[in-house]
Amino acid sequence: MFKIYNTLSRQLEELVPLKDNHVRLYTCGPTVYNYAHIGNYRAYMFEDLLRRWIQYKGMGITQVQNLTDVDDKTIRGSRETGKPLREYTQTYKDAFFEDLKTLNIQPAEHYPAATDCIPEMIELIEKLFEKGLAYKSDDGSVYFPIDKFPEYGKLARLDREGMRSGARVDQDEYDKDNAADFALWKGYVEEDGDVVWDSPWGKGRPGWHIECSAMSQKYLGKTFDLHCGGVDNIFPHHEDEIAQSEGANGCLYSKYWMHNAHLQVEGKKMSKSEGNFFTLREILDKGYSGREIRYELIGTHYRQSLNFTFASLNANRAALARLDEFYAKLQESIGGETEAGELPEWAATLAEKFEAALDDDLNIAGALGALFDGVHEGNKSFPMSGKEALAVSNLWKKIDSVLGFLEPPKEDVPAELIEMANARVEAKKNKDWAEADRLRDAIAAAGWIVQDTPTGPKLKKQ
């Protein structure tokens, strides 16, 4: 069974879908006011590992990841650049999807933008009015009265005695000390410019929290299986989502909640003032690959703080080279074999330990430990028969359906270098060693290494 740590119960629980062995998953996506930073991608990487493991376990999945394109930050950025909100946020939406491809993160089934779901938000707020769980203030904003929802604070484990119902907080993000009535709808102010919608209670725009409640309900229903995000989202964002969703619909919002811990850079909280604030693009510009960054972001248990360091990235490069070397030996051993044999004992042990680790709340350290132990034992098993090597290669690909970094990226070898490698084979057949050496050196000068294998020459980037 696959056990996860449910933030709501503070316990490990078996993940059992509500219906049809199909997990309906909501994951908090980016606020598209800037390029996403590596702290954001730590969360998206955890959710990608979770998604892939759910599929590995034979369950279906429908994932919704929202794009917050209207909030305090996006409006401020739009005004500062003089661009319409939609044009301003589109740049960062496009960048986000490019980054997902770079990191080999599987796409969700739905990416709703907040601005495309305003009618659903208005409908949800109308329901809250009907239930006595919304009131309009003098400035035209609409608030949720937390004292009228007895379970308010159950996710964050807030002390209800310290809550200040009647006091109002209208900013999107605030401290736990500010547990107070929160904004469902913000009345129009001049600073919002042309970012405004009509509603039954006046012109304005939605609050941040109502966006996710409306979008999750639209695509996943009133009750769904699993909601994920960073620990910083537990309060106020997820607490407020629960209150307004369960208050409006009178039923459970999400059965399970999973939250990932923060990311640090070189042992410190990431901040521009520390000079350790990096977007994914800035890491790529330093010469690291998406595959190396993926390995770094995925390699620490999601509930542990991840210390992102460049020394670790360099170590990842060496670790991936070890894995690639093993995979290359497997492919050579397969030769032209098309029928897989039985898995050798060491590989069966690897598979068993890998699965047991990830079934334990995505214990990635245990899974990677099993992988490298397997590679160590596998290296002692060469030479390997073609049938055996093919069976191990199939397991390798199955494991990579979860990890997403095992199979080395295919390199496009220039046609002229392939011709030179083949010409070198002919030169060696003719015992023209000088010509063979010249061709090898020319290939090396172009940045490639030629390796002689039983199935012919292989070219590898230096």
Annotated binding site: 28, 212, 237, 241, 272
How far is CA 159 from each of CA 100, 177, 179, rounded to the nearest angstrom? 39, 10, 10
Backbone phi and psi for residue 92, each to the nearest 5 degrees, phi listed first? -85, -25
Strand blocks (E) in 266-364: 268-269, 306-308
The radius of gyration of the chain from alpha carbons, rounded to an integer in Å, stands at 27
Report the binding-site residues for Zn(2+): 28, 212, 237, 241
b/e code 39-50 from CB counts within 10 Å (16+ = b): bbbbbbbbbbbb
DSSP codes joined into one string, 111-129: --BGGG-HHHHHHHHHHHH
Residue whose tokens read 């170590």: 315
The rounded distance, in Å, linking the Cα atoms of 60 and 294 is: 24
Judge residue 372's burial from the number of C-beta atoms within 10 Å of its C-beta, 0-12 exposed, 13-18 middle, 19 or more buried.
Answer: middle
Residue 42: partners with Cβ closer than 8 Å, 6 or more residues away: 230, 260, 263, 297, 306, 308
Contact 49, 246 (CB under 8 A): no
- List the structure tokens of 385: 């028969």
Q: H helices within 131-230, ranges in order?
A: 208-220
180 DSSP β-pair partners: 164
Report the binding-site residues for ATP: 272
